[in-house]
Amino acid sequence: MAAFCFSDLIHIQQRITTLSRPASPVVTSTKPVEPINAVSLAVFDPRGVPVVAVDSDLPAVDAERLTPEALRARFAHPPHWTPEVRREPKLDGRVPAQAAVLVPIVLREVPTVLLTERSSKLSTHSGQVAFPGGRVDPTDPNIAAAALREAWEEVGLRSEYIEVLGSLPTYTTITSFVVTPVVALVKPGFELTLNPYEVADSFEVPLHFLMNPAHHRRHAMVGEGMSARQWFSMPYQDGALERFVWGATAGMLRNFYRFLSA
């Protein structure tokens, strides 16, 4: 199926199921860290929104570009490129907040990306797939430090296993987080300790799977009184489980694909 820009989806809204706007989630936790994805799966299940396109005509990133040496070189000498997805429609009038996520590429024989499933105990964003990350703290010396701190607090990933490569352009979420994805290589041999308040599970997805647009599905919907909203999903079958990567996480991965394929 031919690829097209998100703006093209406006012309096919009549094909899309109209969904009511989900209620804004109420944050009951006093902890100043919030996950980055948009809404709780208890409120809205994105899997029920129609797939309007799959970008199977776009080339996958070549395997030689996914090696540690190639990734280091790409960040050391970045190409001229344009991120495809920069912001989502605003859900409410929140003041924008700076946030950071770690995009951890684990250097296994076949490189993988470490992801988390948010705890069902969270009042917002529960059950969603996400990178380790959250709000930047005033005491963080820089964005990379914020991403490393969050990875330690959420999943117990120690900094001595991590080699930061650089960052991708910011991504503004529907909840007004201005997120900087910090890409890093992670040496195998680490042991994770999940924070049960924030993280229900962790898992890894092969990097080559995520960097293949044949696995990038486009969804779109329009609700009453709001403009059309579009997003990517990248469902991954992990044994008997479907890991439904979507929203902000999938959008940042799509930008990473554009960065590596430029």
Looking up residue 146, the CATH number of its domain turns out to be: 3.90.79.10
Whether residue 8 lies inside any domain: the answer is no
Whole-angstrom distance, CA of residue 262 vs CA of residue 257 = 8
Whether residue 196 lies inside any domain: the answer is yes
What does DSSP say about strands 177-186 and 97-106: parallel, antiparallel, or unpaired? Answer: parallel
Does the pLDDT at position 36 exceed 60? no
Backbone angles phi, psi at 100, to 5 degrees: -140, 145
Task: Give the total number of structural domains in the chain.
Answer: 1
Q: Is the entire prediction scored with pTM above 0.75?
A: yes
Whether residue 18 lies inside any domain: the answer is no
Whether residue 15 lies inside any domain: the answer is no
Q: Which two tokens stand for residue 203?
A: 């898992």
What does DSSP say about strands 199-206 and 112-118: parallel, antiparallel, or unpaired? Answer: antiparallel
Mean pLDDT for 132-140 is: 96
Backbone angles phi, psi at 26, to 5 degrees: -100, 125
CB atoms within 10 A of CB 152: 17
187-240: per-residue pLDDT in tens? 999 999 999 999 999 999 999 999 999 999 999 887 665 567 789 999 999 999
Sign of CA dihedral 209, 218, 235, 187: positive
Range of the domain at 226: 33-261
Binned at pLDDT 50, 70 and 90, residue 11 comes out as very low
Q: Which of 114-118, 142-146, 224-228 comes out lowest in average pLDDT?
A: 224-228
Q: Which of 176, 151, 183, 206 is nearest to 252 (CA)?
A: 183
